Amino acid sequence: MRVLITGSNGQLGSEIRELSRSYNMVNFIFKDLPDLDICNFDELQNFIIKNNITAVINCAAYTAVDKAEEDEQIAKKVNSEGVSNIVKALQKVNGKLIHISTDYVFDGDQAIPYKESDPVNPTGVYGETKRAGELAVINGNIDALVIRTSWLYSSYGNNFVKTMLRLGREKETLDVISDQSGTPTYAKDLAKTCLKILCGDSSENISKNGKLYHYSNEGVTSWYDFAKEIMKLGEVHCKVHPIETKDYPTLAKRPQYSVLDKSKIKTDFKLEIPYWKDSLKDCMIKIKTNS
Ligand SMILES: NC(=O)c1ccc[n+]([C@@H]2O[C@H](COP(=O)([O-])OP(=O)(O)OC[C@H]3O[C@@H](n4cnc5c(N)ncnc54)[C@H](OP(=O)(O)O)[C@@H]3O)[C@@H](O)[C@H]2O)c1
């Protein structure tokens, strides 16, 4: 098995790189910009054919949610056309794909966890372009999965956890939104899941029960409670104040509630998903060790 990881220098790609060392039977090839651009179809297809790639985990994405409102063309190119290029290139070699999408395809008006079958209604450009990417995979004629995840963080890259730690050390108080609920996801847990699904039994058809899945850590929280837990575990003495979404205007509208129902992925792939506070603890230990 020869697995290409696109966007490999991001949070998820970096976690996969670290875990890949314990998969001796699999050949991993890690690529990111500027070496391999998923928006360049010819370059991508040649690379996949020349390197006998049998599967791709697509970690490449345009993830700047607010900036996407002003950069619609680039967001669309990466999150929609880039994904379509991967699907087309894999069709030629009969390769498998794991593609990652987002809870931001939902409008957040629901009050119970979102299932894969619930209707989507993205409220911003990022969500719209990610939805278009999902459709490229779902309608493509390859063995592929779309895994939607939420509130991703890692010891790699920039994310809410690292921003809170930095701001918490700089300031005495911090205002954080308390009326948006969701579930944080440690990118390491998602990386483990992708590798388990793809490399667990390579002979199996990964999409035998449909292409769409939801994955986050277990539990539900708000950005405010998430921030408080980060301060507690990081031993940062900054007072966190709850504020409402209306008091923190952003370019992109975010879903008020975006908890994902993970029953399908847990059953189909026999997964045990860690509780978000336990995974956060693991990540914080790693951040502390690295600093
Ligand atoms: N972050 C979240 O909170 C979150 C939540 C839900 C879902 N997701 C989804 O989870 C997946 C992984 O997210 P992440 O946080 O690991 O993303 P990330 O850290 O932003 O990494 C994305 C990587 O893709 C690269 N990239 C951008 N355009 C590319 C192109 N045209 N060709 C090849 N590589 C390109 C980026 O390079 P540059 O940095 O140079 O642009 C970056 O290294 C994404 O699909 C994202 O939409 C993320």
The CATH number assigned to the domain holding 194 equals 3.40.50.720
The residue whose C-alpha atom lies closest to atom 2 belonging to ligand 1 is: 152
In a domain, 225, yes or no: no
* Sequential DSSP letters for 125-188: HHHHHHHHHHHHHHHSSSSEEEEEE-SEE-SSS--HHHHHHHHHHH-SEEEEE-S-EE--EEHH
User: Using CA atoms, how far apart are residues 200 and 4, in angstroms rounded to an integer?
Assistant: 16
User: Using CA atoms, how far apart are residues 252 and 276, in angstroms rounded to an integer?
Assistant: 25
Mean pLDDT of 14-19: 98
Q: What is the DSSP letter of 257?
A: B
* Total domains present in the chain: 1
Domain hosting 84: range is 2-158+183-219+258-274
Ligand 1, atom nearest to 190 Cα: 10
In a domain, 239, yes or no: no
Q: What is the largest CA-CA distance in the chain?
A: 56
Rounded to the nearest whole angstrom, what is the distance from the C-alpha of residue 7 to the centroid of ligand 1? 6
Return the structure tokens found at 178.
């308390």
In a domain, 79, yes or no: yes
Task: List, for residues 228-285, the tens digit of each pLDDT value.
Answer: 999 999 999 999 999 999 999 999 999 999 999 999 999 999 999 999 999 999 999 9
Q: With contact defined as beta carbons under 8 Å apart, do 214 and 264 qualify?
A: yes
In a domain, 175, yes or no: no
Angle (nearest 5°) at CA 134 between 21 and 56: 25
Using the predicted structure, report yes or no on whether residue 202 has a pLDDT greater than 70: no
| Confidence at residue 290, expressed as pLDDT on a 0 to 100 scale | 87
In a domain, 246, yes or no: no
Residues with CB under 6 A from ligand 1: 6-7, 9-12, 32-33, 37-39, 59-63, 78, 82, 100, 102, 130, 149-152, 157
In a domain, 252, yes or no: no
Ligand 1, atom nearest to 133 Cα: 45
Which residue in this structure is represented by tokens 């996949």?
48
| Confidence at residue 203, expressed as pLDDT on a 0 to 100 scale | 59
In a domain, 283, yes or no: no
Mean pLDDT of 148-152: 98
Using the predicted structure, report yes or no on whether residue 139 has a pLDDT greater than 60: yes
| Confidence at residue 204, expressed as pLDDT on a 0 to 100 scale | 78
In a domain, 115, yes or no: yes
Rounded to the nearest whole angstrom, what is the distance from the C-alpha of residue 136 to the centroid of ligand 1? 17
Mean pLDDT of 19-25: 93
- Mean pLDDT over the full length of the chain: 97
Q: With contact defined as beta carbons under 8 Å apart, do 205 and 97 qualify?
A: no
